[in-house]
Amino acid sequence: MEQIQFPKDFLWGSATASFQIEGAGEPAQRGESIWDRYCRTPGNILDGSDGKTACDHFHRFEEDVRLMEQLGLHSYRLSVSWPRILPEGMGRVHQDGLNFYKRLLECLRTHRIQPLVTLYHWDLPQRLQERGGWQNRETVDAFVAYAEILFRELRPWVNNWVTFNEPYCTAFLGHWVGRHAPGIRDYAAAVQVSHHLLLAHGKTVRLLRQTTPNAKIGIVLNMNSYYPHQNTEEDRRAAEWNYQAWNSWFADPIFKGGYPQEVLALYEAEGLAPRREPGDMALIHQPIDFLGLNHYFSETVSANPDVWPTRSETHPLGDTRTAMGWGVYPQGIHDLLARLDRDYQHPPIFITENGAAYPDHPAEDGLVRDPERQDYLARYLYQVHRAIREGVDVRGYYLWSLMDNFEWAFGYTKRFGIVYVDYATQARTVKQSGHWYANVIQNNGFVYDGAGQPAEASKANPS
Ligand code: FCB
């Protein structure tokens, strides 16, 4: 048994995103987003669902904030829906949409919960997609204009802003794999989009510095750890290439002012390199106040010259899998933090997402027992703590997610919450892992059995 104690003032929170929980998706309530459109194409969403109602958080936010208070959260990470503020993406402001966020933020203030507000968690206004979306450089300025409205209107409530959530996903899942909106499959487009997202990030940071100098701003990057599948030179190189193509591709421009050389060289040779204008890299390379890190899983990588353009294949790593098929390998988060520390002069890091989906359901006594999630969280938190002990500056942790919600292409089939949502009645039930997390927050730590399994969870889940 080991008592894990986090540093004084460690920030404990939980995260959600607008499209995944809000609902209120009728045309009078918000403009169409690329996710509304994507959901309408049969076959895109596993259960054929959409975000029209989701968790109905739009109408139930007071109850949800009370739940956050009950769990003892210090901070809540939420995102703003761009088409709820600007139904056409620019121009006319939808006042009711703005008022919704003001009421939500006021409610958080009443309950002493600090907001961390993400400007973009994937719900681009469809009208902008029709003009080319993130492939069109003009979208960068449309984004900055949207950010300006939020900075001005929400300034009384918000001190901490995130420009983008996981630009990797918007760029590559949305424009290469096609499993996220807008569902495009064009590698060069994905690379171009990544550059525009980074540029929009940089311009928005500059705007905040000019208009609201006391507020803080950062970006949220999702990163995986990659290890060679076999201990060969080819696999070691393939693992490193993947690290650079998916992680450093976004972090290097921000912290070093340039794209990783090896990846850029390959893209140049293949005609995939992004078009850049003079001054772009300097805009992207600006000091930020914190780095948000989203981490869920690790992979091994094997070299495979037949796979274009990555010349490699990835395989889940870990002793068990979550309902997403993601390997559970807690050491991955430690290794990632250690490497970020080696690679960059970075600002304080917040884990802005970490968590797991499991097929939860309420038992006859009404309780939702989810020992695997508790086990996952304890093991990952142990590794975060280990990195902190070794000197990495991690200041807080946001669990994904506060409640079960719309998991993108998987619809409502994957439950990530520490609060169970019965979608038929919208009733919320705190899962056992939620009660455990409340305890962790209260004690600023937990007892870990040292063998990799928290005592209580391993008894309930002997496998
Ligand atoms: C991340 C997303 C978040 C959620 C989790 C499971 O990639 O940021 O919205 O879907 O994965």
Q: What share of the chain is helix, strand, coil (3-state, %, to 5)?
A: 45, 20, 40
Burial of 112 (0-12, 13-18, 19+ CB in 10 A): exposed
Two tokens, residue 261: 């050389």
Q: What is the pLDDT of residue 123?
A: 98
Two tokens, residue 312: 């490699």
Q: What is the pLDDT of residue 389?
A: 98
Catalytic residue (choose from 166, 299, 372, 407): 166
Catalytic residue (choose from 22, 32, 299, 353): 353
Mutate to test the pocket of ligand 1, among 121, 400, 407, 412 (most ligand atoms within 8 A of CB): 400
Q: What is the pLDDT of residue 448?
A: 96
Q: What is the pLDDT of residue 449?
A: 84
Instruction: Map 301-346 to HEC letters.
Output: EEECCCCCCCCEEEEEECCCECCCCCECCCHHHHHHHHHHHHHCCC
Residue 16 CA, ligand 1 centroid: distance in Å: 9
Nearest to 350 by CA among 389, 386, 384: 384
Element (H, E) at 455: helix 455-460
Residue 123 CA, ligand 1 centroid: distance in Å: 13
Residue 415 CA, ligand 1 centroid: distance in Å: 12
Q: Is 221 helix (H, G, I), strand (E, B) or coil?
A: strand
Pocket of ligand 1 (CB under 6 A): 17, 20, 165-166, 169, 222, 294, 353, 400, 407-408, 416
Q: How far apart are CA 298 and CA 330, in angstroms?
A: 8
**Mean pLDDT, the chain, integer:** 96
Mutate to test the pocket of ligand 1, among 407, 410, 412, 415 (most ligand atoms within 8 A of CB): 407
Residue 21 CA, ligand 1 centroid: distance in Å: 12
Below-50 pLDDT ranges, the chain: 452, 454-463
Whole-model pTM: value is 0.97
Give 404-425 pLDDT, tens digit per residue.
Answer: 999 999 999 999 999 999 999 9
Give 151-190 pLDDT, tens digit per residue.
Answer: 999 999 999 999 999 999 999 999 999 999 999 999 999 9
Query: In ligand 1, which atom is closest to the CA atom of 165?
Result: 8
353 is catalytic: yes
Q: What are phi and psi of 87, to 5 degrees?
A: -55, -30
Q: Where are the beta strands (DSSP E) in 58-169?
A: 75-79, 114-120, 160-165
CA 64 to chain centre: 20
Residue 402 CA, ligand 1 centroid: distance in Å: 12
Q: Which amino acid is at 240?
A: E
Query: In ligand 1, which atom is closest to the CA atom of 408?
Result: 10
Q: How far apart are CA 373 and CA 356, in angstroms?
A: 6
Q: Atom 10 of ligand 1 has which residue's CA nearest to it?
A: 407
Mutate to test the pocket of ligand 1, among 294, 403, 413 (most ligand atoms within 8 A of CB): 294
Q: How far apart are CA 140 and CA 119, in angstroms?
A: 13
Query: In ligand 1, which atom is closest to the CA atom of 407?
Result: 10
